[in-house]
Structure 1
């Protein structure tokens, strides 16, 4: 009897943990967001569903190449609840990523989403780093049609490993996955993180910290 009770409790605990592993499940057909609403909720307030229109669930433009004329040589076009109000509460979003030759989508993390990436064109070198204390780097070279998963919250990156352009599309398990680009967050915070903190954390000279903060 005790064994059965322990097994039941374990299954309930697992069920509860899975239930909170991503965005909450919707309690209605849809909840088209009202970005300008003064109501503050964990997500975005809903407009009257009777006022929903087709455009609330629509986005166009992913057929157009993103502008990769920047120092990184990449362009991410997000399609989340900001672009499609009808995604509110649905727990899913996507992004289109264009890469110039040798272009890079730099190390970053999505604090609220797992990402699954599909290569549509070209060759990508991708990877993620596991959490402390191992910090193990897991990498793979992807070709057209290959798929790779980046677990929620882990630092990851993609780099064009070919001579031509590359294109990928990503699906994410949140309507608003968030993005923290590591270099921008550390060296481009507002106000800046103290030199003493950064110099000691990265074992850098203060002049190097100055230079990096001036870039980001």
Structure 2
């Protein structure tokens, strides 16, 4: 059993991950020190080395801790049918609502190459791409989605509809004149899920 899994519920480790997310979202990677993270987490700085090995190890685990549950869905029952897409959208929105700046961090790393996480995030996304392609192939075999569906196009469409509301949340809320509260997020996830379900259906089912 590896240390990360063995201590996944340790409160000190949890506080360090939360503090790291806050610090890395607030400032550039090279400006964030392990001492600052430890102070924010009310932990001894030596605990960073104990749990994560280094600042970069903590940074990578922070990203894995957020994206991991979303990628794990691709191995589970949620997407055993196209109708599960609504639940997947809702899971994504809920995850990012608790970490509202995280999509901006991912965008900053991938688009602007800021921070050491580009290669690591790309590896996680490639893992998601491979698993997603297998899930699409399974759904095609079961006759639940059209044979012509391109898994890469599906993935890009999902990411576009999932990330954009979180990236532009402040702007959308200002334009609408109300918050994207739990009820709104539920409706948005349901609508996007239905949109995908209809678009993916074999021709005879449309």
Short-chain TM bin: under 0.3
> Please, what TM-score do these two structures have when normalized by structure 1?
0.24
Larger radius of gyration: 1
Q: Where is the strand percentage greater, Structure 1 or Structure 2?
A: 1
* Higher relative contact order (CA closer than 8 Å, sequence separation 6+): 2
